Structure formats: C-alpha cells, structure tokens
Structure 1
Amino acid sequence: MQIYFVRHGRTQYNLEHRFQGGGSDSPLLADGIAGAKAAGRYLADVRFARVFSSPQQRALDTAKYVVAENRWQPDVQLEAGLAEFNFGTWDGQRESEVEPQAYAQVLLHEPGNYDPQRAGGGDDYAGFVKRTTSAVKRLVEQNDPASDQAILVVSHGLVTTMTVKTLLGVPVAELRDPLDYQGQRLKTIGNGIVANDSLTVVETLDNQHFTLKKWNDTSFLTD
C-alpha cells in the first residue's frame, strides 16, 4: 500500500509566522486554495481506497479541494490522531514573540531536549509522533497493507514531516534535522518541515517497514 500525505494549503498564520498547532486554526489564503486544487488535479487519476483528514479546518478544507478534483471524488473521513502538534498557550502567537524566546529555539531545533512544561505546555515530540504514527498504522491496517490501492492523508507540516521520518526510522532527537535518504539530502522549508500543499508518499507491504517514494513534491504548483 502507498500512503499519500498532503500538507494543508498556506494560511494567514503561516504568512505571519505564528505557531499554528492543534489548538489554533487560520483560514486558507487564496494561494493555499489554489495549491490544494493543483494538488487535486495532480492526483485526479489516483483511485484512493480511503481519504483521511485531520479534524482541523485548514486540513479539512484542503482535503475537500483535493478530492473535488478527483475522478472518483471519495468521501473525506476525519481522524483525530492526525491533529497538529499542540503548542499549548503558544498556539496562535508569533514565533518571534513567545516567551521564553530562547526556549522557542529548543522547540524548533532540538526535539530531543524539548520539554513543553518549560514552554507553553501542549505536546512533546515523543508523545506526538507516537500518536500520529499509531493513527497512520491503524488506518493502513484497516485498509490492508498488501492492497494495491492507496490511501490519502491530509494534515499538517509537523504531522507529515515527523510521522514520515518516524516511519522511516529517524529517532526523536533528529526529527528537525535534514533528511538524508538513500544518499540524497531531501529538501525542507523553514525549521525542517515540508511545504504547504506538498505531496509526500511512502509505501509499505506489512505495516512495519516503510520506504519513501516521494518527498515534499511541489512541482505541480508551478505547472
């Protein structure tokens, strides 16, 4: 089975460099909507067994735009385990304005050392990726990992990036590091995550071992 991951389109909070996690939401910008539609056109001929979205509005809206372009227009099902990393009281605040500012750099660059109790509360990295990878594996199991039909997961920057890295065996301490895979350093955007509206694809036959087929692909946004 292949699992297609799409990150939601760009929002106002993305534009303003605010923490936008599990406790906050911001509407898609016009270019975020356009990107979601472009992703949908790119995936128009992929017949997904199921489509799953984070329950947060920016992801659900993106999923709806994507499936509206699909030949089969599958239903979108909400999956709570795909909600974004919760930044606690830092959610919705500008990254440059949270206090203590020095500890914000730990959040952004040192996941192995990050303690939410020293920040705004919310998630820690180990608990977060346990939640998201468990959700993805459960969805794969429900739809048969040996199936030749794919599933689509529409979620968030940290969900996509950290979940895929964890499935590939990257330890928590290295989740913000550049991803080196099969001799290539794969691109990310600020703070080591995938881009808005990007497509990442992984494959598994047994729900235990995962291989990367596509990473942070945004080529369709310029077509």
Structure 2
Amino acid sequence: MSKRIVCLRHGQTLWNVEHRFQGHTDIPLDETGIAQAARAASLLAALRPTMIVSSDLRRANDTALALAGIVGLDVSVDKDFRERGGGAWEGLTREEIAARWPAEYVAWEAPDGEPVPDVADRVGAALRRWAGQLDGDGLLVVASHGAALRLGIAHLLGLPQELWSALGGLGNCSWSVLEEGRRGWRLLEHNAGTLPEPVNSDDTPESAS
C-alpha cells in the first residue's frame, strides 16, 4: 500500500487566455474552465480520492469543488497552495512584462514578487504535511496552480534547483501523480489528462511554451 498525491491545476481563466500573470489575484474560472473542471472531476473520481485540498484562490477551489461534488468529500483550504506571487506583474501580459522589465523577464523574477525557492519550499512542505495525514493507501488530490505545483513537485522529489526546469508546465485541469515509495516520492505521471497542447500559465516562459 502506498500513499499517492494527485496535483491538479485549476481550469482556464480569462487571464490565462490573455496571457496575463495571475499570481495571488483571485480570478474566477471562465466558461471553458468550468467545463474543464467537470471533465477532470469525472476522470479523477475513478481514483477514489480520500482527501481533497485546494488553494484559497477560487479558480483552484472551484476546480476542487467539482470533484468533491462527485466523490462526496469536503474540500480543505490551505493558503500555502497559492500560486507564486507576482507583485507588480500581476494583471500584466508577458509582452508588457518583457517591455518594462527586460532583464527580470529573462530571469522570470518579478522585482517585488515571490522568489522561486520560497514557492518550492512553501508548496513542497504543504504537500508533505497533507500527505502525512493520509492512511497507508490514501489518495490526496491537491487543486492548485501551474508554477506552484511544478515547483512543489520538484521540491517533494528532492530535485536540486538546477534541475527544476526539467519538469514541464501543467495545462489547465491537467494533473501529475506522485507515489510514496521506500526511498521517497516518485513521479508516476506528469501533465496528464489531455493531449499535449500549449500551456498558458504564470510559470516560466520555458515551462509554459
């Protein structure tokens, strides 16, 4: 028996479509995002989750609630699963960011935003904390955000920072599956749920391409 975590990115928002940095801004799902959440819920319900946790931002929480309504579980909310804070970049398109902060855009580090290592530590620690509450064969679904989940997964797997870019981004309402083994956590699936398609995310341009 092994514990598993499904890391589920939220459904599409209007700012995703417009390529705007969302960060901590509380943007709702658009019509497509609501349909994506319903589809993902119908598929993930077959895994019989035993616990569901989400970010406190409604695009993630509403995605989690779509699954909870099918499997009959409550959704716990944890602010540590929020997206990476973008500071002054929030609400701006990638083109606007590149024009105003060319050097910072290349590094993908907002001058007043949340540093990448801090996000990895925050989300990775939250994944471990909630997984610690599972029974031996429990399945935790975490509804969160693209950059937050990618960095949290890298942290949970124990990857050194120079290898974090080896993990690609997550599409809207796609998910990754982790399983705890004798030597720690391992990645079983990544960005599953759809055929490969462009990723519109707050994550790095390389991860989102």
TM-score (norm: length of structure 2): 0.85
Gaps of at least 5 residues in structure 1 are: 108-113, 180-187
Which letter maps to 1:163? Answer: G
The answer to whether 1:124 aligns with 2:115 is yes
Identify the match of residue 187 of structure 2 among 200, 208, 212.
212
Alignment: residue pair count: 192
What 5-or-longer segments of structure 2 have no aligned partner?
A: 197-209
Deviation track 1:152-196 (CA, whole Å, cap 9, x = no partner) reads 100000111111122223222332x233xxxxxxxx4xxxx1111
**Partner residue in 2 for 1:134:** 125
CA deviations 1:6-57 (Å, max 9, x no partner) are 10001011001111112x1222121111111111100223322211000001
Q: Which runs of 4+ in 1 moved over 4 A?
A: none
RMSD: 1.9
2:5 to 3, 6, 30: 3
CA distance in 1, matches of 2:134, 2:70: 23
Equivalent position of 2:177 in the other structure: 201
Asked if 2 retains the 8 angstrom alpha-carbon contact of 1:38 and 1:220, the reply is no
2:155 equivalent among 142, 160, 166: 166
Q: Is the 8 A contact 2:50 2:138 kept in 1?
A: yes
User: Partner residue of 2:200?
Assistant: none
Shift in Å, 1:88: 0.8
Match status 1:155 vs 2:144: yes
Matched, 1:16 2:18: yes
Quick check: 1:33 aligned with 2:34?
A: yes
**Structure 1 residue 88 and structure 2 residue 87: aligned?**
yes
Say if 2:178 is the partner of 1:178. Answer: no
Partner of 1:110: none
Alpha-carbon separation, structure 2, partners of 1:43 and 1:198: 10
CA contact (8 A) 2:128 2:156 kept: no
Shift of 1:205: 4.2
**In the aligned structure 2, how far is the partner of 1:196 from the partner of 1:69?**
20
- The residue aligned with 2:203 is none
Q: Distance between the aligned counterparts of 2:63 and 2:140, measured in 1?
A: 16
SS class of match (2:142): strand
CA distance in structure 2 between the partners assigned to 1:104 and 1:220 by the alignment: 29
Q: Does 1:76 align with 2:71?
A: no
Query: Equivalents in 2 of 1:173, 1:220: separation in Å?
Result: 28
